[in-house]
Amino acid sequence: DGTVEAMPGFGKKTVEKYVKALETFETRPERLPYGVMRKIVAELNQTLASFDAIIRFEVGGSFRRAEETCKDLDFILSTNEPERIKEQLLELSLIDEVIAAGSTKVSLILKRDVHYIAVDFRIVDDAAYASTLHHFTGSKDHNVRMRQLAKERGESISEYGVETEQGLVQPNTEEELFARYDLPFIAPELRAGRHEFEQDLSRLLTEQDIQADVHMHTTWSDGTLSVEELVDACAARGYTWMAITDHSKYMKFVNGLTEERLRAQRIEIEAAREKHPDMTILCGVEMDILPDGSLDYEDEFLKEMDYVIASIHSKFDQTEEEIMQRLENACRNPYVSLIAHPTGRIIGRREGYAVNVDRLIELAAETGTALEMNANPARFDLTASSLAKAKAAGVKILINTDTHRPEMLEDMKLGVLHARKAYLEASDVINTWSAEEALEFFGRKRLGVD
Ligand SMILES: [Zn+2]
Ligand SMILES: [Zn+2]
C-alpha cells in the first residue's frame, strides 16, 4: 500500500516483511491471560510455602486484583533472613534469566511451557509486609486515592508504612491500614480507585451467595464427567440447583445432542434426581444459534426442555448486523433463558464476533433474557464494564463456569470476583436465587408475561 511504497531506501519485499514482523509482534500477547498466570502462581505459591524462612507471602499486582490479563507478577515475602531467601529464589527451576538479585528484590524471567513471565519478589521485614503488599497490589489509581486520604490527615503512605508526626507506623494487616482511614477492608478485585471508596461494599455478591451453576457439559457432548458425576460434584459444592447443558446437534464435532439423545439423557437426569432429592436438576441444553440466524431446535421441542441457553459458536467473521440479527432472534425466542459467553472472545487468542454489547443489553432487557458472566478465565465475558451496564438496564445475570472438566467448577469464584468489579449484588444474579425463583423468572418469558 501507499505507506510501503513511500519508504525510501528499502526494497518493497523487505519493507513488507518488516511490517509483517511488526504486526505479528504487536498482536503477540505481551500481557498473559489470567488463566495462564494462575498456573504459575499456583506453582510458585506451593514452592514459597516450602521456604521455612518466609514468615508471610502473597502475590500482589494485577493478578491479585483478578484482572483479565497480567503483564508480570509481584510477590511480596517477609522474612528475617533475606539473603537466604534470595539464594533459594535463585535456585527456582523455572528460571530463564536473572534480571536482578538483591537482598530486597529478586527479579526473574521464568519460562513455563511457551510463556516467558517476569516475576519480581520483594523481600521485606515482616513489620513492613502489609504496607508493601498494599502498595504493590495497587491499582495505581487506588493508591493515589489512599495517599490523598492520608495527606488530609497530615500523613503519608508508602510501601514501608504510614509516616506520621509521631514517626513511622506500620500496620500489621491491610485491614489495619484501611481502618486507619475509616475504611472497611477493600478486597483486591475492587481496588480500581473509584467506587471502592464510596459504595457500600457489604452489599456486594460473595461466593457464598451462589446456589447453582447452570452451564455445564457432560460426557454426552464434550465434558469429561457423566451426568451422575457432575450432579455429585455440584451437590458436594453445596449447590441447591443446577442445569445440565450439553451442546446441541449443530455441534457435530463435539457430539452435539439430537432431540432423541436429549430425551434419552433425561432418563439419566431422572436417576440423578432420585439420588439427590434436595437438588433441583434442570434438563437444559446449550443450543447453537445457526449462521443464518435460526435456532438449532424447533419451539415444539424446546418447550420440552426445562431451560435453554443460546450461544454462537460459528461464523465469527459475520458483520455486526448479521451477528446482532442472530442474537436478536435468540433473545426473542420465548424458550431461550440465557445468552452464553455473549462476546465469544478467548482472551489472548481471538477477539470474538462483532457484537454490539449495548444493543444486546437492550434486547435482553426488553425480552427478559439473562446474560452470562462466563467464569472461565479464558473468556471472562461479559466484562465488568458491560456487566455494570447490564445491571443499570435491569438485565439479570447468570454466572456460569461452562464446566467441561471437574476442576472448572472452581472457576465460579473467579466469576464472582468479576461480578463484584461491576458492583453486582445477589439480587442481580439469578444463580444466587432459589430454583423456584429462577424458574419463575424463566417462566415469565416463556408465558410472555411482563
Ligand atoms: Zn459455548
Ligand atoms: Zn458451553
CATH number, residue 106: 3.30.460.10
CA of 413 to the centre of ligand 2 (A): 18
Nearest ligand to the CA atom of 403:
2
Give the neighbor-by-neighbor strand order of the sheet with 397-400: 212-213, 241-247, 280-288, 307-311, 336-339, 370-374, 397-400
Q: Are residues 310 and 386 in the same domain?
A: yes
CATH number at residue 199: 3.30.210.10
Q: Which of 107, 124, 141 is the last residue of a domain?
A: 124
Q: List, as ranges, residues with CB under 5 A of the ion ligand 1.
A: 311
Q: Which of 203, 223, 252 is the last residue of a domain?
A: 203
353 occurs within a structural domain: yes
25 occurs within a structural domain: no
CA of 248 to the centre of ligand 1 (A): 10
Nearest ligand to the CA atom of 245:
2
Residue with grid cell 481496588, as numbered in its chain = 191
Q: Are residues 249 and 344 in the same domain?
A: yes
Q: Are residues 311 and 415 in the same domain?
A: yes
Q: How far is CA 68 from CA 134, 405, 449, in A?
A: 20, 21, 38
Q: Are residues 225 and 79 in the same domain?
A: no
Which residues are registered as beta bridge partners of 69?
33
Q: Are residues 221 and 111 in the same domain?
A: no
Nearest ligand to the CA atom of 216:
2
Domains: count for the chain? 3
225 occurs within a structural domain: yes
Give, for all 450 residues of the chain, the pLDDT tens digit: 333 333 444 455 555 555 554 544 444 447 899 999 999 999 999 999 999 999 999 999 999 999 999 999 999 999 999 999 999 999 999 999 999 999 999 999 999 888 999 999 999 999 999 999 999 999 999 999 999 999 999 999 999 999 999 999 999 999 999 999 999 999 999 999 999 999 999 999 999 999 999 999 999 999 999 999 999 999 999 999 999 999 999 999 999 999 999 999 999 999 999 999 999 999 999 999 999 999 999 999 999 999 999 999 999 999 999 999 999 999 999 999 999 999 999 998 899 999 999 999 999 999 999 999 999 999 999 999 999 999 999 999 999 999 999 999 999 999 999 999 999 999 999 999 999 999 999 999 999 865
CA of 68 to the centre of ligand 1 (A): 19
pLDDT of amino acid 229 = 98
Nearest ligand to the CA atom of 344:
1
| Residue 224 buriedness (CB in 10 A; 0-12 / 13-18 / 19+) | middle
CA of 337 to the centre of ligand 1 (A): 14
Residue 189: what are its φ and ψ, rounded to 5°? -65, -15
CA of 371 to the centre of ligand 2 (A): 14
CA of 256 to the centre of ligand 1 (A): 11
CA of 247 to the centre of ligand 1 (A): 8
CA of 424 to the centre of ligand 1 (A): 23
Q: Are residues 412 and 319 in the same domain?
A: yes
Nearest ligand to the CA atom of 339:
1
What's the one-letter identity of residue 202?
S
Q: Which of 175, 203, 231 is the last residue of a domain?
A: 203
2 occurs within a structural domain: no
Q: Are residues 295 and 330 in the same domain?
A: yes
Q: Are residues 139 and 284 in the same domain?
A: no
7 occurs within a structural domain: no
Give the integer Cα–Cα distance in Å for 217 and 326. Answer: 23
What's the one-letter identity of residue 225?
L
Which residues are registered as beta bridge partners of 404?
none
What's the one-letter identity of residue 58?
E
The CA-CA-CA angle for residues 72, 423, 425, to 5°, reads 130
14 occurs within a structural domain: no
- Contact between 99 and 152 (Cβ < 8 Å): no
CA of 323 to the centre of ligand 1 (A): 15
Q: Are residues 54 and 119 in the same domain?
A: yes
Residue partners of 369: CB distance under 8 A and separation at least 6: 330, 331, 336, 337, 338, 339, 363, 395, 445
**By residue range, what is the domain housing residue 94?**
32-124
Give the integer Cα–Cα distance in Å for 401 and 210. Answer: 12
19 occurs within a structural domain: no
Q: Are residues 424 and 440 in the same domain?
A: yes
Q: Are residues 418 and 335 in the same domain?
A: yes
CA of 216 to the centre of ligand 1 (A): 10
Residue with grid cell 433473545, as numbered in its chain = 331
Q: Are residues 270 and 294 in the same domain?
A: yes
CA of 311 to the centre of ligand 1 (A): 6
CA of 384 to the centre of ligand 2 (A): 20
CATH number at residue 395: 3.20.20.140
CA of 215 to the centre of ligand 1 (A): 9
Residue spans of alpha helices (H) in 169-208:
174-180
360 occurs within a structural domain: yes
| 3-class secondary-structure state, position 435 | helix
